[in-house]
Amino acid sequence: MYPVGVKKQFDRIGRIRVLLVGRSNAGKTTLLQCVYSATKLPEVFNTNGERRGYHDIQNELIFRSSPGIIFHDSRGFEAGSEDEVMLVKNFIILKTCGIVPVIVILTKADAMQLEAFSQLRDEGFTLKEARTRAKTLATQLMIDVKTKIESQLGMYKYPPKDYVSLAGMNKHNADCDSLLRCTANALDEIGLQKLVVSTQHANVEHKIEFTVK
């Protein structure tokens, strides 16, 4: 159950909807479980409130611990999937009131270090040298990926407000602090910021930070 103050905010604002967009197997559901420290999958309901599986952007994914925040899954963007793109565009038009804060999440960032290691080995570095240099090169490769994505998405109607790279999301006690912080900062209204942070039951540090704001 939410505290009285949080309930009043939800009564004023209504439910917050979050649309997850990305290719299949990008770790979207795992990411949600990490954010809410959940061991179980979210419950899924259709527009009539009936339990359903995934694979429909209209279905609502809800965690029992945070029923005021509703998630929607875009199923995954595959190469040439124009129908899925249109579904997402129509969903945004239908569900929003002109305010669409976008955050780009670069998942599985830890895989970049393996790519960096392989690249260094291909360039002739020894095993020891490649291991030593891999972390630095992986950081640069991630910067290059982010720069490329920024150039592609910056021209759209709703350009990203922030970018965050995450690693080890499938591990116990994975660190989602950077995502929680940029999500709250992406919201223009202080009340919404506090509302999002208040749903993080275990994150005392963020609650204090945004309460002070």
Both tokens of residue 64?
């029992």
Q: Is 164 exposed, middle or buried (0-12, 13-18, 19+ CB in 10 A)?
A: buried
Q: Give the separation between CA 92 and CA 209, rounded to whole angstroms.
A: 31
- Asked if 163 and 104 count as a contact pair (C-beta separation under 8 A), the reply is yes
At residue 207, does pLDDT exceed 80?
no
User: Positive or negative, the Cα torsion across 69, 74, 76, 80?
Assistant: negative
pLDDT band at 89 (very low <50, low <70, confident <90, very high): confident
Average pLDDT over residues 178-185: 76
pTM of the full predicted structure?
Answer: 0.68
Q: What is the pLDDT of residues 20-61, one digit of tens each?
A: 888 777 777 777 777 766 656 677 777 666 666 656 788 888
- Asked if 181 and 35 count as a contact pair (C-beta separation under 8 A), the reply is no
Q: What is the pLDDT of residues 61-82, one digit of tens each?
A: 887 777 677 888 876 666 556 7
pLDDT band at 211 (very low <50, low <70, confident <90, very high): very low
Three-state secondary-structure class, residue 194: helix
Across 83-87, 106-110, 116-120, 208-212, the highest mean pLDDT is recorded for: 116-120
The residue ranking higher by pLDDT, 32 or 90, is 90
